[in-house]
Structure 1
C-alpha cells in the first residue's frame, strides 16, 4: 500500500520537526487513524518531497519528523497555461482537478462574452480558495510536488493582454470549426484557451487571433466545456509532454 501524501505550507528541511496544519492533521488522526511511528510523505508545493514519521497524534494536531528530502521528477517538461471560461456547478472543480493531474502549471479562469457565471468580492475569493484546495488534493493523489497557480478570474480582454505578454512557444484557442494548420514538432510552453458552454463569439475568435492564438479543432464532435480542456491537455502532453501513447 502506498504511503499517504499530504501538502504542508511549511518549508521542508531534513531533520525538522513540524506540526501539520489542522486539515491534514484531522485526516491523519480521524480518517486514516494513523499512529506514532507511522510513515507518510509531505510536499510543500515547491517541488520538494520528504518522507516523514509521525511523532505525536492528537485529533487536530499531528507532529512529524522530516526525513529524506528529495525532488522526484514528476513534473511535465511542457509548461502549460490553461485559460478556461468560468462554468456553472462543479464543472470548474472537475477542470481544475483533472488539469492538475495532467500537469498544467497555471489555470486562468476568465469571463468571456457568453460566460453565464459572474463572481465578485467575497464570493470570488471563496471560490478561488476552493479551487486551490481542489488542486492541492489532486497533487496529493497524483504525486505532483508543485502546485499549479490558480489565478483570479479576469475579463476576456484582460486575459488576452496577459497571454500576449507571456513567453509561450504556442498559443491555441480550441474551436470546433477551425481549419487545423500543422502544429510544431517541438513545443516547450503552451497557452490553451477554452470557451464557455455557448462557445466564443466571432469577435472573440478574431481578438484571440490578433493576440497570437491559433484556432485548433480537436475532432469532428463538439465537446463540452469541461471535456474540451482535458482532451486538449491530454493531446498536448502526449505530443510534447510526458504522457505515453
Structure 2
C-alpha cells in the first residue's frame, strides 16, 4: 500500500512538526484509521515530498514529525497550459482533475460563446477556489508535489487579446487538415485551447487562428469537451513528453 500523501499549505522543514489540516486529519484518522508511528508524506507545492511519521492523533489535532525532504520527479517535460472553455455540471471538475493527473502545468478557464455557465465577481472567485481544491486533491492522488495554478476565468476574446506567450498554440477542430503526429515537435511551453460542450464557434476558431493557434484534428470522431482535452494531452505526452521517458 502506498504511503498516504496530504497537502499542507505552510512551510515544511525536516526536524519540525506539522499539524495536518482539518480535512487531512479527518481523512487520516477516520477514513484511513492511521495510528501514531504510521508513515506519511506531506507536500506544499514546492516540488518536494516531506516524509515523516504521525506523532499525535486526537480530537484536537493530528500532527506529523517531518523526517526528510525528498525532491519529487513527477513533473512533465512539457509545460502545458490548458485553456479550457467552462463546461457545466461535473464536466469541468472531471476535466481539471484528469488534466492534472496527466501533467498540465496551468489551467486557464475561459468563457466562450457557447459556454452554458456564466461566471463573474464573487461567483467566479468561489468557482476558481473550488477548482483549485480539485487540483490539490488530484496532486495528492497522482503523486505530484508541484501544484498547477487555476487562473481567474476570462472571456476567450480577452484571453487571446493578452497575447499569452508560448512556444506552440494548439486548438482542436473536426475539419482541421493537420493531426498532432504531423506537427513539428513544439518547444517546452504549449497552450491547448479546448471548447465547451457545443465546441468553439467558427468565428472563435478564426480568431484563435489570427492569434497564432494551429487547428488540429483528433481523429475521425467528434469528442466531448472533457474527452477532447484529455485525448489531446495524452497524445502530446506520448509524442513529446512523459511517455518518452
* TM bracket (short chain): over 0.9
**Could you say which residue in structure 1 is the equivalent of 2:120?**
120
Taking structure 1 as reference, are residues 15 and 91 closer, same or farther at Cα in structure 2, changes over 3 Å only? same
Residues 43 and 78 of structure 1: is their aligned pair in 2 closer, same or farther, counting only changes over 3 Å?
same
What is the rounded CA distance, in whole Å, between the counterparts of 2:150 and 2:58 in structure 1? 32
Question: Deviation above 6 Å: which 4+ runs of structure 1?
Answer: none
CA distance in 2, matches of 1:226, 1:14: 40
Contact 1:26 1:61 in 2 (8 A): no
In 1: Cα distance, 2:26 partner to 2:177 partner: 52
Q: Which of 155, 170, 173 is matched with 1:172 structurally?
A: 170
Is 1:29 matched up with 2:29? yes
Aligned residues: 243
Matched residue, 1:101: 101
Q: Distance in 1 between matches of 2:58 and 2:195?
A: 46
State the partner residue of 1:6: 6
1:59 and 1:223 mapped to 2: Cα distance?
48
Name the structure 2 match of 1:66.
Answer: 66
Q: TM-score, normalization: structure 1?
A: 0.95
Match of 1:231 in 2: 231
Matched position secondary structure for 2:242: coil
The answer to whether the 8 A contact 1:87-1:117 is kept is yes
1:121 deviation in Å?
Answer: 2.7
Q: Quick one: distance in 2 between partners of 1:219 and 1:64?
A: 49
Task: Report if aligned partners of 1:29, 1:57 keep a CA contact under 8 Å in 2.
Answer: yes
- Unaligned 5+ runs, structure 1: none
Which residue of the partner structure matches residue 161 of structure 2? Answer: 161
What is the CA deviation profile of residues 74-107 of structure 1, one whole-angstrom value per residue up to 9, with x for unaligned ones? 1000000001111110000100100000000001
2:197: which partner in 1? 197
Aligned-pair Cα RMSD in Å = 1.4
Q: Name which of structure 1's ranges 90-99 and 129-138 shifts more when overlaid on structure 2.
A: 129-138
Deviation at 1:115, TM superposition (A): 1.0
Take 1:186 and 1:126, find their aligned partners in 2: how far apart are those partners? 35
Match status 1:211 vs 2:187: no
Displacement of 1:244 in angstroms is 5.2
